[in-house]
Amino acid sequence: MPTMFSRRTLLSALALSAAGWGLSAQAAGQTLVPAQSEVTFVAKQLGVPLQGRFKRFQAQTTFDPKSPATSKIAFELDLGSVSLNADADAELPKAEWFNVPKFPKATFQSTAIKALGGGKFQVSGKLAIKGQARDLAVPVTLTQAKGLSTAMGAFTLKRLDYRIGEGDWTDTSIVANDVQVQFKLVLQGVPAL
């Protein structure tokens, strides 16, 4: 049976996988401000919340808030950049979690962006982690101030849909299936709302 150390690692891996929304943008003059952006996750092991983050992510965006239907967003998250704690950080890249040697990146490609009013959008697309691609729709709130646009959102990732935590780690009484992912992406060059 897996040890608690391994369970923490699994939770971290799951939460980080869910964090595939992290981005760094460079397209059509749009660029990410990395020092102000973050992708975090919370997973539960034996009912105890564990919080982690991804340190490296990038994206290509051509986003116009006044023309969301023609906008595109593509994300790439470095799964090996997961940061939870020293023990988990060593375990998450292994085959039963993220299998970083075989699947180093999580990716998201938008297929539709819909304006909901008041700076709110629904971004739909395909999230791929560990060779598994699933449809994902994420609510995003965009605010603008001092020449910067901040996109914030959150979603729940089902880790087992992406084979994160294989073998003994499929037991959801040890590591919960739901991983809460949050992101804050600060961008320059996005047109005004």
Domain extents in the chain? 4-188
Residues of the chain with pLDDT under 70: 1-28
Please tell me the predicted confidence (pLDDT) of residue 29: 76
- CA 84 vs CA 50, 106, 135, 143: distances in Å: 8, 17, 26, 29
| pTM score over 0.75 | yes
**Predicted confidence (pLDDT) per residue in 150-175, tens digit:** 999 999 999 999 999 999 999 999 99
Q: Which CATH class is domain 4-188?
A: mainly beta
Which residues, at least 6 apart from 83, have a Cβ–Cβ distance to it below 8 Å? 52, 53, 54, 55, 89
Please tell me the predicted confidence (pLDDT) of residue 159: 98
**Predicted confidence (pLDDT) per residue in 32-45, tens digit:** 999 999 999 999 99
